[in-house]
Structure formats: C-alpha cells, structure tokens
Amino acid sequence: MISDRQTLAERVALPDTPDLLVQFIRHMPVAVAMFDSDLRYLAASARWYQDYGLVGRSIIGQRHYDIFSEIPERWRRIHARNLAGERLSAAEDRFLRADGRVDYVQWENVPWRNADGGIGGVIMFTQVVTEAVEMRRALEQKADELQYYADYDYLTNVYNRRKFVELAEAELQRQRRYDGMTAFALVDLDDFKAINDSFGHAAGDEVLRRFAALAQRELRPSDVIGRVGGEEFGFLFPETDADGAAAFLARLRGLFKAERFHFADTVRTVTFSGGLAMAAGAASADLDPVMAQADAALLSAKASGKDRLLRAG
C-alpha cells in the first residue's frame, strides 16, 4: 500500500516532457494512467490494464468515462478539481463496479503541465486495496467477537462472572462518590442438577437460556445481570432500595414459575431462590462483603424451602 509519508507520485521521478512521460508510464510496475484535459487516455501501465480488466482492449485516445461509465459523480468532481490544478488523494475509496462488485482503491491524482505551464491533463496513480481492506475488516470482526466472548456467557448471552464483577465494582465505586445505594442479589435455579440428571444437559441449557431471556426482558436498562456460576445469576440494581429490588425479584419469580418446560413426555415448572443485600454509602464500596451477604441470604432461602427470596441481615 502507498505509504502515508511517501505517495506513489513522490516515489517516482517523473520525466519533464509529456512524450517521455508516456514512455515512462507504459513501463511502470504500478497502476498509472496519463490523461489529457478531456480525460482521454494518453498512456497506461500494464498494471493499470490488469487491475481494471482492460487487458486486450484498446483504450488510448478514449475517454475515461466511456471506458468506465460507472464512475460516480463524486469522482468526476474530483477530476474537475485536478484539471483546475489540485493534487488530490485518498487512502481508501469505495468503487462500485458496473457488474456490482465493490473494490477499494487507494489513489493520487496529479495534474501535469505543458511546456508553456498550462495544465495538460491528469496522471492517476492507483492501487486496488480490496484484499487488504477485507482482511482488515475480517480481523476487526474477529476482534469484536473475541471481545464479546470475553465479556458474555456464550450460552445465555448475559455477562459472564468476570464482566459482572467488573461492572458491579465500578457501580459501587460510583455509589461511594455520590453517596448512593445499590441493591445486589444472587439467584440460584432450584433443583437444577435434577433437571440435568433426569433430562440431560440440553434440557438444563434450555432452562438457563429462558431464565436469562426473561430476566433481560424485565430489567431496566440501568440494571445488570450476569451468570456467575453454573445455575447462579447475579443482579445489580443501581439507585434501588431493598423494597424495589425485592419487588422486581418477586415479579420475576412469578413470571418464571409460570413458564412451562417440556422435557421428554413431562411438563415441568422451575423455580428459583434468591438472596438480597444492600450497598449504601461509602461504607459499602467493597463488593466482596456485599456478595457474601447476598450469598448467605441465598443459602438460607435454599435451606428454608426454596422458591423464595430472603434479605441479608
């Protein structure tokens, strides 16, 4: 690709006269074409013919726009500016071909002058960079995918434990600065091992996916959910008191309990238990004790019969 510091036009020492330019351009190893003031071809390199599908065609003396009728108006305006004396370039320009293909071209257009100093036409230096552009975009897409899977649980599409903890810690720091409050909950699906053992892991995966989808649908945009264990999920409710968080989780318990799961010839319902803890003010800026309180409340909910929510303390 053409260097940002050294363009194609700067890399070649062009002869001073048009006749020598014509000969020079014909033998250049890069895609270069020379035009007169009507944008008729005076010369073109072999690479120009190859890059633009012109091998075997007679183009000398023909107008550029007759050869490439698909050239957009935007580029025609650029050519007009070149013929007015401007030297213009682009690192990556989209070119829609007549057959519908899209190419990306790096180019520089340089006006050339007659012996009397008048502008005789334009020399176009180009490089088709489609392959490099597509490769770069594929790498960017792959990087985005890797970042997604670094932050999200692949099965449920909610945050994974690492990302959830990161967001929870950031929220507690924010709360500490502004003396706010945050409700934190841990939720565990009841008797989940029995579902896996009786109906297989595919059935368990379906339960996890449907719970996560339901919770995401009901949460506010500011709330956060993450899968922090096998069948355990964490919830973060910024600027929410215990009553507000408990009301949400109670509604979610009812909605989830109403779901019907068809496993083999059996229709099952699934419940969950939860523990709720509060972080309020500067004294609760550390996540670990808040998680420990929610976990203790969750264990108590499990021990006292499941399908319930208990508050810490």
pLDDT digits 0-9 by tens, 200-241: 999 999 999 999 999 999 999 999 999 999 999 999 999 999
**What's the pLDDT tens digit per position in 93-138?**
888 777 778 888 899 999 998 888 899 999 999 988 888 888 989 8
User: Residue 170: how many CB atoms within 10 A of its CB?
Assistant: 13
Is the per-residue pLDDT at 192 higher than 90? yes
Q: What is the pLDDT of residue 284?
A: 59
Answer whether 2's CB lies under 8 Å from 108's CB: yes
What is the H or E stretch that residue 107 is in?
Answer: strand 102-113
Q: Tell me the catalytic residues.
A: 231
All structural domains of the chain with their residue ranges: 8-134, 152-311
Confidence of residue 285 (pLDDT cuts 50, 70, 90): low
Is the per-residue pLDDT at 4 higher than 60? no
How large is the average pLDDT for residues 160-164?
94
Q: What DSSP state is assigned to residue 40?
A: B
- Average of per-residue pLDDT values in the chain: 88
Q: Identical fold at 8-134 and 152-311?
A: no
d(C-alpha 114, C-alpha 120), whole Å = 5
Q: What DSSP state is assigned to residue 8?
A: H
Rounded to 10 deg, the angle between the 130-151 and 161-178 helix axes is 70
152-311: CATH architecture? 2-Layer Sandwich (3.30)
Q: What is the pLDDT of residue 244?
A: 95
CATH of domain 8-134: 3.30.450.20
